[in-house]
Amino acid sequence: MIKNDLLLKALKGESVERPPVWMMRQAGRYLPDFMKLKEKYDFFTRCRTPELATEITVMPIKQVGTDAAILFSDILVVPQAMQIDVEMKPGVGPWLPNPIRSAKQVEEVVVPDVNEELNYVYEAIKMTKQELNDEVPLIGFAGSPWTILCYAVQGQGSKTFDKAKQFCFQEPVAAHRLLQKITDTTIAYLKGKVKAGVDAVQLFDSWGGLLSPEDYQEFSWQYMQQIIDALKDEIPVIAYGKGCWFALKEMSQSGASALGVDWTCSAMNARYLSGGQITLQGNFDPARLYSKPIEIKHMVTRMIDEFGKDRYIANLGHGILPDIPVDNARAFVDAVKEYQAK
Q: List CB contacts of 226: < 8 A, sequence separation 6 or more.
A: 183, 187
Cβ 114 vs Cβ 186: under 8 Å: no
Question: Other C-beta atoms within 10 Å of 223: how many?
Answer: 25
29 labelled binding-site residue: yes
How many helices (H) and strands (E) are present in the chain, helices listed first?
A: 17, 9
Residues 281, 49: Cα–Cα separation, whole Å: 30
Return the C-alpha torsion angle 339, 324, 62, 141, nearest 10.
90
Residues 118, 81: Cα–Cα separation, whole Å: 7
Q: How far is CA 55 from CA 69, 70, 137, 209, in A?
A: 11, 12, 16, 33
- With H, G, I as helix, E, B as strand and everything else as coil, classify residue 135: coil
Helices (H), 197-237: 213-216, 222-231
Residue of 251, 125, 132, 108 lying closest to 181 (CA atoms): 108
25 labelled binding-site residue: yes
Question: How does DSSP assign 30-58, residue by residue?
Answer: TSHHHHHHHHHS-HHHHHH-HHHHHHHHH
The maximal CA–CA distance of the chain, rounded, in angstroms, is 60
Single-letter amino acid, residue 303? M
Q: List CB contacts of 300: < 8 A, sequence separation 6 or more.
A: 284, 314, 332, 335, 336, 339
Residues 340, 196: Cα–Cα separation, whole Å: 36
74 labelled binding-site residue: yes
208 labelled binding-site residue: no
The shares of helix, strand and coil residues in the chain, as percent rounded to the nearest 5, are 50, 10, 35
Burial of residue 235 (number of CB atoms within 10 Å: 0-12, 13-18, 19+): middle
26 labelled binding-site residue: yes
Binding site residue list: 25-29, 44, 74, 151, 206, 318
Binding site residue list for substrate: 25-29, 44, 74, 151, 206, 318
